[in-house]
Amino acid sequence: MNAIRENVRRLLNELPQHVRLEAAAKTRSPEEIREAVDAGIRIVGENYVQEAARVSETLGRIADLHLIGRLQRNKAKKAVDLFEIIETVDSFALAREINRHAAAAGKIQKILIEINSGREPQKAGVLPEEAETLAGQVAQLKNVRNVGLMTMGPFLEDPEKLRPCFRETRRLFERLRSMAIPGVDMDVLSMGMSDSYRVAVEEGANLVRIGTRIFGSRPPT
């Protein structure tokens, strides 16, 4: 059996029913992505707008595309055209730019607020204590809908050490949901990757972003 197909089926069987599997497809070919979709993947995460555009042009709309990499404001228009959810919004300026292009397209663009749960100065994401303010600001935008939170966490060899980051993001997610802010849904908690998804699921993730456990290791560049 094809390795990608087998990997997808194994993961889908392992994950709880309420947890959705997102194939992190950075640098992967359209052929690999199609194999994953044929095996049951319904969400494909791309790090770059231009890569997502190539996939869309080659394969069409065979799965929901999510942006899981940093979005530059000058690419917001193309992102609105391509993505079901932009998972990496970490400033009101970026949200406002997305809103402008979504309004022009007649679309309500779904987004996640990215949380810098590891408090790393070099990383994207809003600090946990600033997320409530940003959520309130985004809620005022008519063509952007905040549907949850996303976090990456630090790159650590031991995934257990990510548990506090995931736990803090889950608590923030629950607090924002309990506030019932008009215009904020808090349905999606995107946490965990190939090495950490089990810990993330234990801490409340309902969307996991997995690349190498689906596609195998990337070839050296």
Domain boundaries, the chain: 3-215
Please report, as a single letter, which amino acid is at residue 179: M
Percent of the chain having pLDDT more than 90? 90
Q: Which residues pair with 107 in a beta bridge?
A: none
Q: What is the CATH number that goes with domain 3-215?
A: 3.20.20.10
DSSP conformation letters of 47-102: S-HHHHHHHHHHH-SSSEEEE-S---GGGHHHHHHH-SEEEEE--HHHHHHHHHHH
Q: What is the pLDDT of residues 74-98, one digit of tens each?
A: 999 999 999 999 999 999 999 999 9
Percent of the chain having pLDDT more than 70? 98
